[in-house]
Copies of this chain bind each other. A is one copy, B any other.
Amino acid sequence: MKLASFEVGDSVRIGLAAENDVLIDVTDIVGSDMIKVIRQFEHVVPQLAKASSDPSFTRYSAEDVRWLPPVPKPGKICGVAMNNSASNERKISAPDHPAFFLKPSSCLVGHREAIRVRRYYGSVHPEPELAVIIGRDARDVDAEDAHEHIFGYSMFNDITGNGMRGEDLFQYWALYRTDDGELERREQHLSYAGRYKGSDTFGCMGPWLVTADEVQNPDDLDVHCAVGGETVAEDSTRYYNYKIAELVSFISQFQTLEAGDVISCGTAFKPSAKRKSIHQANFQEVEGPVEMRIDGLGTLTNPVTVEDREIGKWRL
């Protein structure tokens, strides 16, 4: 089943994505809150199944709605760092477990909404990723059981300001308690992702979510990304260092994952056969739209606009 969130006028709706770019509006039976739909899915699924063949439900053309992210306000969005084996040869040192960061729900945009980049952001590029949508609370889940907690999948374009990334670095003397209760200094390099991963429109998600029963093997899905019509990634989730179940399990042993939470599983960035890479698709220089596709999940398209504005007066 493919579930979409969208707006018609000022009204938030939920629809089934059907053939020929048609959205079947099922808001009357499930409400407009995707997290609630996820929580109550077992109860509404018989009605949803009927709706797809019932002509009394309103149908919209995909052209006539405003697409929202399938989960417009997830409780959290975890982004997994450097999970593609194609990045391994560039690692000088790295942990032997998944590492992840958070993106805010305020950065999300849906299908066809613009990625808005400002000149003062510096270099910004796309990162096409498979997104997991959590179905029920997951805490301390072993990898073998992780799939029971997955509601479905979607596409996530983890837009990344690598210009800002290079600016938000600290080299400093961290303090640690020693065994005798005193302090010792350790040199540490830290970086902070608030700006470079979390700026507005830095999370494109959609066009819909696909329930897990329709995705045979999330660890073997082709991923494609083009910018301005030129392919910049031809990759597959089989090149992820950590499998989907491992990511859910690992994160759940630190953070409780809740229904509607999103894990964006890592960038598919193997360059295309013509050797173009996502890192060359700096939106300051390369025009959009960005189009990404993952097997069975549809096509997520977002135009890019560059705003020629200065940063405002943030100093008193």
Q: Are A169 and B93 in contact (CB under 8 A)?
A: yes
Q: How far apart are the CA atoms of A90 and B190 in the complex, in Å?
A: 13
| CB of A229 within 8 Å of the partner chain | no
Q: Are B190 and A279 in contact (CB under 8 A)?
A: no
In the complex this chain forms, how many copies of it are found? Answer: 2
Q: Are B255 and A81 in contact (CB under 8 A)?
A: no
| Chain A interface helix/strand/loop/mixed | mixed
A105 — nearest CB in chain B belongs to which residue?
Answer: B75
Among B93, B181, B186, B255, contact of A170 (Cβ-Cβ < 8 Å): B93
Which residues from B are CB-within-8-Å of A281? Answer: 177
Q: How far apart are the CA atoms of A202 and B245 in the complex, in Å?
A: 24
Contact with B along A169-188 (1 / 0, CB 8 A): 11111111100011101111
Give me 19 other A-B pairs in contact (C-beta within 8 A), A100-B195, A169-B189, A192-B193 excluded. Answer: A75-B104, A90-B173, A91-B170, A94-B169, A94-B171, A95-B169, A95-B170, A102-B102, A106-B257, A123-B177, A143-B315, A162-B174, A166-B188, A177-B281, A181-B280, A188-B191, A193-B193, A194-B251, A200-B255
Which positions in A face B, CB cutoff 8 Å? 73, 75-76, 78, 81-82, 87, 90-95, 97, 99-107, 121, 123, 125, 139-144, 162, 165-177, 181-183, 185-195, 198-200, 243, 245-246, 249-251, 253-258, 261, 277, 279-282, 285, 311-316
